[in-house]
Each structure stands twice: as structure tokens, then as C-alpha cells.
Amino acid sequence: MTTEETIRAAVAAYGAQDLERVSALVADDVCYRINAHRETGPYHADCQSRDAFFAAVGTILEDWDVQRYALGDLIVAGDRGAAQIDIEMASRHRDFVFRGRLALFMRVTDGQLSEIVEYHDTAAAGLSRAAA
């Protein structure tokens, strides 16, 4: 698959909650970072493996029911891609729906995501635990 095809497939798989398909598209030694400060909310990561990636994603999915995760924009250059993702997630702890956008910067190696760097409003996302 091309860089664009890999990124589109991974975003679609995550949006469909097809974590088995996501796993097939993530390299064993994936570098995954959520650029955030711990004091702004519980969602931050800096890991170097598929297992650690899924542990970080699992932390998010414990708090949120992802209702929409859709590709907005995608720019691809060689093995790199920048994507804007439209998201809607319902808190599992209180009556709160988070709608927003996040930015993903990715590298694709041999048809798999080898690097994912995520930027989003962690302070707003942290509201799911505010009243829990």
C-alpha cells in the first residue's frame, strides 16, 4: 500500500472500531506520542511498541465512546502524512460529548504506521474525568 492508502485505511479502521485491522496497520516498533502535558489532562503518551500504543489507546477508550473519527484533510509527502481528524466522543463517566479536531503526523514504513504523533486539546478532553 502507498503512504496515503495506509493512512486512509488506518483512520477508517479506527473510526469503525476495527482494532484488529488497526493492529495490522501498525508496526511492531511504532513510535506513538500524544503531545500533551500531564497537568492538562490524562491523555499523553510516548511509547515505542504496538503493545504500548494499544495500552495508550485503551486508556482513552476506557473514558470515551468514539462516535465519529473521520478524516478531514490529508497531506502526503513521500513516507509522511499529516491528517486532520474530525472527532466526536461521548464520555463514559458523565453526560458530556466532546467534538473537535485532532492532528496526526505519521510516517509509513513498508505499508505500516511506524510513527504517529498526535496533537489535540487535552484540557478539553480531560473534562470527561472532571465530574467523575
Tens-binned pLDDT, residue by residue, of the chain (132 aa): 999 999 999 999 999 999 999 999 999 999 999 887 665 566 778 899 999 999 999 988 888 899 999 999 999 999 999 999 999 999 898 888 888 889 999 999 999 999 999 987 655 555 545 544
What is the structure's pLDDT at 132? 45
Identify the CA nearest to 33 among candidates 83, 101, 87, 104. 104
What is the structure's pLDDT at 96? 86
CA-to-CA distance for 111 and 128, rounded, in angstroms? 35
What is the structure's pLDDT at 35? 81
What is the structure's pLDDT at 24? 97
Domain locations in the chain as residue ranges: 3-129
Identify the CA nearest to 37 among candidates 127, 100, 132, 122. 122
Pick the CATH number of 3-129 from 3.40.50.10420, 3.10.450.50, 3.10.129.10, 3.20.20.70: 3.10.450.50
Phi, psi of 109 (to 5 degrees): -130, 125
What is the structure's pLDDT at 94? 87
Output the CA angle 61-56-104, nearest 5 degrees: 90
